[in-house]
Amino acid sequence: MIILEKIIALQKKTPHIRNLCILAHVDHGKTTLADCLVASNGIISSRLAGKLRYLDSREDEQIRGITMKSSAISLHYTTGGNEYLINLIDSPGHVDFSSEVSTAVRLCDGAIVVVDAVEGVCPQTQVVLRQAWLENIRPVLVINKIDRLIVELKLTSQEAYTHLQKILEQVNAVTGSLFTSKVLEERAEKDAEAQSSCTENGSGDQVYDWSAGLEETDDSDLYFSPDRGNVVFASAIDGWGFSIHQFAEMYSQKMGIRSSVLLKTLWGDFYLNAKAKKIMKGAQSKGKKPLFVQLVLDNIWSMYDAVVTRRDKEKVEKMVTSLGLKVMSRDLRHSDPKVLLSAICSQWLPVSQAVLSMVCEKLPSPAEISAERVEKLMSVGARRFDSLPEQTQELKKAFLDCSADETAPVIVFVSKMFAVDSKALPQNKQRPLTQEEIAQRREQARQRHAERQAANQSAESPGSADTGGASTTVAPASGTEALSVKTAVEEDNKEHFVAFARVYSGVLRKGQKVFVLGPKYDPSLALRLPEGCSAADVLPSVPHMACCTVDSLYLLMGRELEELDEVPTGNVLGIGGMEEFILKSATISTSPSCPPFTPLNFEATPIVRVAVEPKHPSEMPKLVRGMRLLNQADPCAEVFAKIEISASKPIIPFRETVIRPPKVDMVNEDMGKQQKVAVIHQVKEEQTKYPEGVQVDSTGLVTLTTPNKMATVGVRAIPLPEEVTRLLEDNVELIRTMEQFSLFVWEDKTLDINQKILENIQEFKVKLESNLQGRKWRGAVERIWAFGPRRCGPNILLNSVEGYRRPSVWQCLEREKETEKAEIRDFDNSIASGFQLATLSGPMCEELLMGVCFSVETWDMKLSAPLAHGAEAAGSSVDCYGPFSGQLIAAMKEACRYAFQAKPQRLMAAMYTCEIMATAEVLGRVYAVLSKREGRVLQEEMKEGTDMFIIKAVLPVAESFGFADEIRKRTSGLASPQLVFSHWEVISSDPFWVPTTEEEYLHFGEKADSSNQALKYMNAVRRRKGLYVEEKIVEHAEKQRTLSKNK
């Protein structure tokens, strides 16, 4: 059993620490492998490894059989005379919990990538390899479930060798593509810098290098290969695993060949020439068995044949004797051959020894962190590392030194917050009583017993005058005691949040005063603080920075927490008492110059919104607290507070859009994030009724005047090309950076943007110009007023007002401040705010718009005396209609809505890409479920060397609720889908279509709502939101004259 004191001692030896996580596709054996590693430390029995799922500590994880939350444990391992501390984090493999993978990867220096030997590289395998690449952590490979090749697929050892080669090629192909993209990107940056330097120097002669740069780049340590020692072959469920290194040492003694030679030749096209007793090349061309098959796989196949297939006791006993193993007689007599197999293989080739040896040799320690990774962690958003304050740049040395000295600044990153029951905290756990405490409690119990006996005797004796008084005085005391006990129980049941963190520099101590830096903290603000200040000093308020005291430190041991007094650099830990200061993630430091770490990379974004209300209104406070806990505990969750009287159920978001005259080209409006709506341009004016004061001409120009008649705006809605909509969606971060720069310019501040970001913005602008071609889009890119909603969405506000010039949204590229100022410039933000509100809430389902261009073509102002003095004077002027700026915002919002409604509408559905692995016998049931839920199969292929089919389909997000459960029930658990958001797709039916001809009446009925999928979706959303739904209901059922018709 691992001892706490041993771990505390090893925490101070940074070079002997390994922080790693286990990454894999769902059901590839991560938690089973983690069980085997945990069992090596005696924390659980080796017989329970793979069955207990020790790191799946939640009840729902045990029921569903999948990991849902990342959990950590510290392990001790000795190899080569050195002791190592291994901080292991088990992460989920299901795409729905990919945010947990992001929180785990950030805290690690290495990763174990697990791949199923039968299924090979799956979609989530590619995702986790990409996440490890983006975070600059080094991976090692474990090819798991080798036993399935023997037991299920019945492959020979030669066929299995070929199959394993293909899996390695697949993994290396993914890694190679990531490497190639990085090299090409760096090459493009160098070329751009060289070109800019030539332009500045004025030299016209330029030398172009057409090579990609891949030939000069060293990728020798990039790929996975067994002879490099970064691959382990394993069957975690049977408890065995090996690397080439183990067999090389084993056979070097038997065959008299150096282990270094065997290490290079055991994997590859080499064979053993028995006559010459030499290892020769060309096994495949000469029809010989490769050395790996002959010396490794044949022995494992023989073991399975003797133990599992034939159950040959004599052969098993010979194998056990020759290997020098000790197997208990009860295992030899056991009816289940897997028990005997596990008992033999776990001693012969223990998987924990193979994996942990590889981890210690091939994965880096915290002290080996690269300068590239440090700069990437410290450069937030668009800022360059060299643009950070000088004091902040000096902290890079603290990262690289990874020092635990007293003078080293403390730098800690919190990747997530997780809830822990108060009873599970070490300070609240029950401890064994000492002999003195037992004797004291015995004496107290004896006194209480004597007091009760005396009270009973006095109550039985007649003539006691003060009995009633005594009872009345004791009762309130007992009631108060019960109340206090109840309060104490409620307090004990309260959940506490623990921060999941890692120390990058210094030593974090219990009771220490530290700064908690939010994701939006600006380290340049630290320059205003007194030099050499600490968190213990009384300091002025700084945005996104708080001072707090470290309440408690914990060692994470899976389900258990152990209390610590201090944690040195390079270790993973839990921090208590931070729930009031940290929402999801944060940076903790003793230096106010420390920058916040870059945000986590989330591969999957949430696209489904769920509205929740309590069953009983009195339980609303509990619901609010639960939502607050969810928002803090889930890195990917977003909680919006909105109290409504109407009933709330899961909301399916939609989007609305506009279509061009000749072809169905969409202007999209985001109804949350699930569906879109397209609008056709051919419109009959009588289809839309407008209130008084709204004028709409035949071209769709909507003119609206403010209530005080001081301003009139004319707006036209134009559909954006589909390519532009997609371009805006893909460049949200760039648009946000442009908006941030414009805000700094407005406040007369400076913001240094990374040169790479500026190049990306320039490229984005060029692409926008190339996609906005045609007479009506001439000069449109330069006239962009704003993007929306939330100032970074896929909608455009266009300035088409004749003679009105305003600052460009491309100011970061132009670097010129606009000096000309028009009289109506003061109300510029009111027009933009009205546009933001209109795109934030569309007219169909009150959700976000997407892909619409609102062109402001007229803007007339009658400037009175207050208005002529600017927006502040106009806002403070007394008007029965309210402030003028508010009137202008409302007028602009309504004008945009009416311009959008000037066209008939059509819904679009958000589509999931659904990938399902299933066997041939359940293929028909999978197709039936997909067809029932409006799914469409795109591709079906059989995985080579297996009986598994891979089905790729698209499925509407609106139909995905309960899809996974239904498909598992219908296929008896033999198929499990992976759903990832893919694209938006038009629903062909018009939600406002009504039958007009006699044939249509006969076919669809009077309302035609039974077969109108778009109408069904729209009404469902409006009904859930409490909006008006146009539907006929029976008001007086007794007046329906149906009785006479049935006679």
**pLDDT, tens digit, for every residue of 569-580?**
999 999 998 888
Query: Which domain-ending residue is among 852, 869, 903?
Result: 903
Q: What pairs with residue 978 in β-bridges?
A: 915
Helical packing angle, 157-201 and 123-134, nearest 10°: 40
Q: Which 3 state secondary structure label does DSSP give 390? A: helix
Distance CA 11, CA 434 (A): 31
pLDDT score, position 382: 60
Using the CB atoms, write b or e for 42-76: b if 16+ within 10 Å. Answer: ebbebeebbebbbbbeeeebeeeebbebbbbbbbb
Q: What is the pLDDT of residues 230-272, one digit of tens each?
A: 999 999 999 999 999 989 988 888 888 888 888 889 998 888 8
> Which of 653, 652, 664, 654 has the alpha carbon at shortest distance from 903?
664
- Please answer whether residues 975 and 917 qualify as being in contact, where contact means their C-beta atoms are separated by less than 8 angstroms: yes
* 748 in any annotated domain: yes
315 and 335 share a domain? yes
> Which of 97, 88, 114, 98 has the alpha carbon at shortest distance from 21?
88
Q: What is the 3-state secondary structure (H, E, C) of 178-224?
A: HHHHHHHHHHHHHHHHHHHHHHHHCCCCCCCCCCCCCCCCCCCCCCC
301 and 374 share a domain? no
* 655 in any annotated domain: no
Which residue segment(s) compose the domain that 857 sits in?
675-903
pLDDT band at 640 (very low <50, low <70, confident <90, very high): low
C-alpha dihedral sign at 260, 266, 271, 274: positive
The answer to whether residue 876 scores a pLDDT higher than 70 is no
Q: What is the pLDDT of residues 26-81, one digit of tens each?
A: 889 888 999 999 999 988 888 888 788 888 877 877 777 778 888 899 999 998 88
Mean pLDDT of the chain: 80
CA distances from 204 to 48, 276, 752, 759 (A): 73, 67, 29, 22
- Please answer whether residues 112 and 140 qualify as being in contact, where contact means their C-beta atoms are separated by less than 8 angstroms: yes
For residue 749, the tally of other CB atoms under 10 A from its CB is 9
User: Kind and range of the H or E element at 516?
Assistant: strand 513-517
pLDDT score, position 1039: 66
257 and 395 share a domain? no
pLDDT score, position 708: 85
What's the distance, CA 794 to chain centroid?
23
For residue 822, the tally of other CB atoms under 10 A from its CB is 14
Provide Rg for the chain, Cα atoms: 35
pLDDT band at 659 (very low <50, low <70, confident <90, very high): very low
Tokens 């003539």 sit on residue: 463
Helices (H) and strands (E) in the chain, counts: 32, 32
* 245 in any annotated domain: no
pLDDT band at 475 (very low <50, low <70, confident <90, very high): very low
* 931 in any annotated domain: yes
pLDDT band at 664 (very low <50, low <70, confident <90, very high): very low
Q: What is the pLDDT of residues 306-331, one digit of tens each?
A: 999 888 888 989 989 988 888 888 88
Burial of 314 (0-12, 13-18, 19+ CB in 10 A): exposed
Burial of 883 (0-12, 13-18, 19+ CB in 10 A): middle
Q: What is the pTM of this model?
A: 0.78
* 247 in any annotated domain: no
930 and 866 share a domain? no
CA distances from 74 to 2, 15, 434, 822 (A): 9, 16, 30, 66
Domains of the chain: total: 6
Q: What is the pLDDT of residues 841-868, one digit of tens each?
A: 888 888 788 788 999 999 888 766 455 5
Q: What is the pLDDT of residues 70-119, one digit of tens each?
A: 889 999 999 888 999 999 998 887 777 878 888 889 999 999 999 999 98
* 207 in any annotated domain: no
Q: Please state the rounded mean pLDDT for residues 878-882.
A: 71
> Which of 932, 902, 424 has the alpha carbon at shortest distance from 690?
902
* 556 in any annotated domain: yes
* 232 in any annotated domain: yes
398 and 511 share a domain? yes
886 and 915 share a domain? no
* Tally of residues, the chain: 1047
Q: What is the pLDDT of residues 982-992, one digit of tens each?
A: 887 777 777 88
Distance CA 24, CA 147 (A): 18
Q: Please state the rounded mean pLDDT for residues 890-905.
A: 86
- Please answer whether residues 877 and 843 qualify as being in contact, where contact means their C-beta atoms are separated by less than 8 angstroms: no
- Relative to beta strand 17-24, strand 82-90 is parallel
User: What is the four-CA torsion angle of 348, 350, 356, 362, rounded to 10 degrees?
Assistant: 50
The answer to whether residue 674 scores a pLDDT higher than 60 is no
pLDDT band at 686 (very low <50, low <70, confident <90, very high): very low
What's the distance, CA 157 to chain centroid?
40
The answer to whether residue 617 scores a pLDDT higher than 70 is yes
For residue 248, the tally of other CB atoms under 10 A from its CB is 22
Cis peptide, bond prior to residue 364, ω within 30 of zero: no
Tokens 């406040």 sit on residue: 747
Here the CATH number for the domain that contains residue 275 is 3.90.1430.10
pLDDT score, position 279: 85
- Please answer whether residues 956 and 933 qualify as being in contact, where contact means their C-beta atoms are separated by less than 8 angstroms: yes
What's the distance, CA 110 to chain centroid?
19
What's the distance, CA 15 to chain centroid?
31
Return the higher-pLDDT residue of 876 and 803.
Answer: 803
Here the CATH number for the domain that contains residue 917 is 3.30.70.240
Distance CA 412, CA 473 (A): 56
774 and 635 share a domain? no
The answer to whether residue 970 scores a pLDDT higher than 50 is yes
827 and 846 share a domain? yes
pLDDT band at 681 (very low <50, low <70, confident <90, very high): very low
- Please answer whether residues 810 and 787 qualify as being in contact, where contact means their C-beta atoms are separated by less than 8 angstroms: no
